[in-house]
Structure 1
Amino acid sequence: MTSNPFSLVLHGGAGVLADRSYQKEIDHMRALAGEAKEMLGDGMAALDVVERVVYALETSGLYVAGKGSSPNTDNRYELDAAIMDGATRNAGAVAAMEGFVSPIQAARKVMETTPHVMLAGWGANKLAREAGLEAVDDPKSYYKPAAVPDNRAIATGTVGCVARDRDGRLAAATSTGGTLKKTPGRVGDCPLIGAGTWADQEIALSCTGQGEYFIRSLAAGTAAARVRYLHESPDEACRWALKDVKRLGGDGGIIAVGRDGRVAYPYNSEGMKCAVLHADGRITAGVQDQT
């Protein structure tokens, strides 16, 4: 164990375009990692920290999640999110949710106020409304798409955060506006526990990329199983899971933190936006490998 018992990774999505600068996103992620360092240093639980970080990513408008989401082919904004507490394996998720500022807050409400793991569509909307979560009054004026469709077969965008707190507790949270120009009702890997989001007592993970392939490879769950049963490091396990995603024809990235504070953030796409609070207290941020 290093001198600092807590660590964290956050991402702003895999797949970057060579002709675009991401300095604004990098600066934002670096600042969020600094805020998270203070929260974890003050003893805040990992679950609370990952929710707060993802909320900040959602409401920034800089990423394809929350305010920065893009509409589906019916010109409606359907958002997904999931959160998981590694210590208890309690989890909550929303899918194809409409009309609320923060899907990650709704996901936590699912986890803490219902006996379920996921609510979708109008059911998720109803829970959010009854919980008093902030609503989007005018979608056309609120949403400012952070990306436009490009030449990728499946253009994507996601945000996420994983953390280990001072007490060794792990947590993960992921949120997305989904693939660009998606079919109405489409649900990706983000809200599916074990596909795009996972946390247990060994590792916490958040995935980003072409969700259909992460679902078909059970990416997050596979990486977690390799840590648990094969005793691989977080980085080794995530890289194996990404190889399986690639074998199926997809790409993306995974961020993870292990019970000993070791972090991982590999990707097989054209870059991945991320920031890392290392266990030694350093903060790094960028769109390339942070080694």
Structure 2
Amino acid sequence: MIAFALHGGAGAKKGRDYSAEIANMREIAEAARLSLRAGAKALDVVTETVRKLEDSGLYVAGRGASPNQAGHYELDASLMNGADQTCGSVTALQGFANPILVARAVMEKTPHVMLAGDGAALFANEQGFAPIADEADYFTRAGRFESNHPPGTLAHGTVGCVCLDSHGNLASATSTAGVFGKMAGRVGDTPIIGAGTWADGQTAVSCTGQGEYFMRVNASAQLAFRHAGGQTLSDSADTVLQQIVDMDGEGGLIALNRNGEVIAPFRSQGMKRAWFSGDSEIISEAF
């Protein structure tokens, strides 16, 4: 059994055309299915999927980032391997195109889980990641299109992926540039293992939305623990998302389990997402 889901963020707004994103997500999902059928590992698939989403410039992650209040591009990412629960994370990373690849290197080449700010950038440079030559030319500022979010709120965007491979292993990865207009140094749920990203032997989760609320309820780990305790995958997700709604937050998530069950619930206007399970049709949609 193989299963897969990705998301392009819960920032989708009614009235905007997301045909480019829907086509892009479908193409990435199709490539992931081919890789999984060929025996690829879940961790490699989620890493490559998120890298493609970062590079597309269509989402508020990687190339699609917008600057913070100080005019800097600070990127966050994390990933987790369900087989042994190893994980890696970077936060407030400046100057590099693919935070998910740096997070993978943190997991595999350091004794740490998270590196931040200047330390993350120094590590990325030491590992041979090429710095961005011209940020003004590189970043697409995808968030500039999301101009119709409610007054007084910060719009948001994230990308993520969860996967079950043919070996029965799960993995999760998430990447973001954070909310638009964020303060310098702001960190949301994306790089926090257990808040925005989680994978263990039974469940994999990637979250998107107003990160402060997902952090307050430890969203991704809570969902996995509820499912491990006997709740269905859907009920576990509904419980967690309702807690966020009750705090006046919004967002969504993708999750799957080792049986190949896939869910993509959201409590927001929309959430860009694509998924399949086994040989099922690939679904790619925003609302």
Whether these two folds match at TM > 0.5 is yes
Query: Partners in 2 of 1:35 and 1:267 — Cα distance?
Result: 25
1:8 to 4, 11, 15: 4
1:90 to 73, 86, 89: 86
* 1:259 partner amino acid: R
Q: How does 1:147-226 map to 2 (within 5 A)?
A: 147-148=143-144, 149-152=147-150, 153-226=153-226
Query: Partners in 2 of 1:248 and 1:60 — Cα distance?
Result: 33
Q: How does 1:47-66 map to 2 (within 5 A)?
A: 47-66=43-62
Query: Partners in 2 of 1:156 and 1:150 — Cα distance?
Result: 12
1:67 to 36, 49, 63: 63
CA contact (8 A) 1:102 1:134 kept: no
Query: Partners in 2 of 1:168 and 1:195 — Cα distance?
Result: 24
What is the DSSP-based 3-state SS (H/G/I as helix, E as strand, rest coil) of the residue aligned with 1:206?
Answer: strand
Query: Partners in 1 of 2:141 and 2:155 — Cα distance?
Result: 13
**Number of aligned pairs?**
283
TM-score normalised by the chain length of structure 2: 0.97
Query: Partners in 2 of 1:32 and 1:90 — Cα distance?
Result: 25
Aligned counterpart, 1:287? 286
CA contact (8 A) 2:60 2:156 kept: yes
CA contact (8 A) 1:11 1:273 kept: yes
Query: Partners in 1 of 2:167 and 2:281 — Cα distance?
Result: 19
Specify every segment of 5 or more residues in structure 1 that has no aligned partner in the other structure, as ranges: none
Aligned counterpart, 1:238? 237
User: Are 1:132 and 2:128 matched, yes or no?
Assistant: yes
* 1:245 partner amino acid: I
* 1:280 partner amino acid: D
Query: Partners in 2 of 1:253 and 1:108 — Cα distance?
Result: 24
Aligned counterpart, 2:265? 266
* 1:266 partner amino acid: P
Task: Answer with 114-123 or 141-150: which moved more.
Answer: 141-150
Instruction: Give the CA deviation at 1:279.
Output: 2.6
Instruction: Give the CA deviation at 1:134.
Output: 2.6
User: Are 1:104 and 2:91 matched, yes or no?
Assistant: no
Query: Partners in 2 of 1:237 and 1:280 — Cα distance?
Result: 25
CA contact (8 A) 1:81 1:191 kept: yes
Task: Answer with 278-287 or 217-226: which moved more.
Answer: 278-287
Query: Partners in 2 of 1:201 and 1:154 — Cα distance?
Result: 35
Query: Partners in 2 of 1:233 and 1:118 — Cα distance?
Result: 31
Instruction: Give the CA deviation at 1:75.
Output: 0.8
Q: Aligned Cα RMSD in Å? A: 0.9
Percent identical among aligned pairs is: 47
Specify every segment of 5 or more residues in structure 2 that has no aligned partner in the other structure, as ranges: none
CA contact (8 A) 1:94 1:120 kept: yes
Instruction: Give the CA deviation at 1:89.
Output: 0.3
